[in-house]
Amino acid sequence: MAKSDSMDLTRRAVVGGMGAAGLGATYAALAPRAYAQEKKPIKVSFWTFDNPQQRPWVNKRVKLFTEQNPHVKIDFQWFAFGDLGKKLSVGFATGTAPDGFVSQDWFMPVWLDKNLLAPLDVGKLGYANYQAFAKDFAPAFVEGATVNGKVYGYPMWFYGYCNYLNTKQFKEVGLDPDKDWPQTWDQLGEVAKKLTVKDGDKFTRQGFKFAMHAAQWTMIQFNPILVGAGGSWFDQSGKCIVNNDAGVRAMTIRASIAQKYGAEDPADSIATNPIPGMDFLKERASMFFCHPLPLELVKAQNPAMLEGNYFRPVQYPGSAPGKGISTAYGFNLVINAGASPDKQEVLHDLYKFMMSDLVDAWRDAAPFTFAKKGGWEDNAEVQKFPYVNEIIKAGSNGVALPRTLVFNELADSMHRGVQKIMLSKADIKSTLNEVAAEVDRATAAYKKA
């Protein structure tokens, strides 16, 4: 279910809710950009994904913007992380899509192919030209947000995943978390097996945990295993080839933690869309591939874990030590091509305001890192975050999710396939054949439509 908040706020409410130091200076610096009070009232709609850290920061910046621009009202709505793309697809199909929204970068090909996004005016975002804009962000991210020198997405966060370890549990079984963390897939299985605790046939602690609760997480966690095994989602013609030898090899690795090493029960999880790492946070699993974990989230779910400082991120395992890669992805602020010129003007100003203070964003949503190059990594507040450079490294070395026009269909098919393999012990090759056939049918239907 969507949440919404129509923003018509008093100065007292905003100032009272600022919290973080330095916002007053930001307010003063940006005040000359504010619209005059006599401007015609305007209402714009804006959607984003739900997340315990990022969404509240976006919400705060939207509120501050409407305080400075009292003629603007923003219908702000948010949806579960895995549902946002589908909600947007339905919105565009029914004419109810928002004026502006946050797009996960893997959905950009769909919006661009259908001409659903308005090009951004980089001058209104503070850049002299396209070259200056492109130079400010990671090349892979810019590539997914631009077409023929036109910019369609203003990059926000960009980060990779790490393997999170419960260091207390490592030490309990005689492992040194700083030296013995798994660097290959075989090592992951052996270490997970050693960390596993069972009472008869029932797990009281899983050595490692894959996410099984959502299609998006199935994709995020399997993607680097496939790429690292020499595989690919599609060939050059667009045919799905996840069922080739490399795909089977990758899925065998994916299944091995449970089926070979006996270190995981795929059916036993308390993960949710808001908190996919709940099994790790509640110490029901010793390792988990996860996005950067905010300290406030750890504190809220397991104060003892935070106080004892017995968790840390390391890089993914790989085919050989030092070859581990994870999925890295990001988010773009975009504008609906159907939004009126005056709404597009407001959204440009809103987006520039939102991203004008990355230290404020870090302060509220750490340790989620940004697509922007420089200007924040070396900040003292950023560098004092535990293992921040390990987190930055994961994003820098990560691989993107597949750029495809049928991402939702691919994700749903893969999720069903993984469920069959892990919960019903279905044959890997046969199941991946079914997945590839489903995805090829979806591609054909898209092209026909």
- Per-residue pLDDT tens over the stretch 354-368: 999 999 999 999 999
So what's the pLDDT on residue 143?
A: 85
- Residue 16, pLDDT > 50, answer no
So what's the pLDDT on residue 52?
A: 82
- Residue 247, pLDDT > 80, answer yes
What tokens does 444 get? 């054909």
- Residue 19, pLDDT > 70, answer no
Mean pLDDT for 317-330 is 95
Q: Per-residue confidence at 2, pLDDT binned at 50, 70, 90? A: low
Mean pLDDT for 302-309 is 98
Q: Would you say 402 and 239 are in contact if contact means Cβ atoms under 8 Å apart? A: no
Q: Per-residue confidence at 263, pLDDT binned at 50, 70, 90? A: very high
- Residue 250, pLDDT > 70, answer yes
Domains of the chain by residue range: 3-160+328-397, 162-326+405-448
So what's the pLDDT on residue 32?
A: 45
- Residue 10, pLDDT > 80, answer no
Q: What is the mean pLDDT of the chain?
A: 91
So what's the pLDDT on residue 17?
A: 36
CA 271 from centre of chain: 16
Give the closest residue to 130 by CA, choosing from 149, 106, 143. Answer: 149
Given the structure tokens 């997945």, which residue do they identify? 435
So what's the pLDDT on residue 158?
A: 94
So what's the pLDDT on residue 3?
A: 52
Overall size of the chain counted in residues: 449
Give the closest residue to 385 by CA, choosing from 287, 310, 294, 291. Answer: 294
Q: Would you say 44 and 346 are in contact if contact means Cβ atoms under 8 Å apart? A: yes
Same fold, 3-160+328-397 and 162-326+405-448: yes
Express each pLDDT in 130-163 by its tens digit: 999 999 998 878 888 999 999 999 999 999 999 9
**Which residues sit opposite 372 in a β-bridge?**
137
- Residue 261, pLDDT > 80, answer yes
| C-alpha–C-alpha distance, residues 440 and 6, integer Å | 42
Mean pLDDT for 299-314 is 98
Express each pLDDT in 37-77 by its tens digit: 468 999 999 999 998 889 999 999 999 999 999 999 999 99
What tokens does 373 get? 């190059």
Q: Would you say 312 and 164 are in contact if contact means Cβ atoms under 8 Å apart? A: yes
Regarding the domain delimited by 3-160+328-397, which CATH topology (the fold level of the hierarchy) does it fall under?
D-Maltodextrin-Binding Protein; domain 2 (3.40.190)
Q: Does domain 162-326+405-448 have CATH number 3.40.50.1400?
A: no
Express each pLDDT in 184-230 by its tens digit: 999 999 999 999 999 999 999 999 999 999 999 999 999 999 999 99
Which residues have CB under 8 Å from 348's CB, separation 6+? 120, 121, 124, 125, 335
Range scoring the smallest mean pLDDT among 17-31, 181-195, 267-281: 17-31
For residue 306, count other CB atoms closer than 10 A to its CB.
18
So what's the pLDDT on residue 9?
A: 37
Whether the pTM exceeds 0.75: the reply is yes
So what's the pLDDT on residue 81?
A: 86
- Residue 400, pLDDT > 90, answer yes
- Residue 286, pLDDT > 90, answer yes
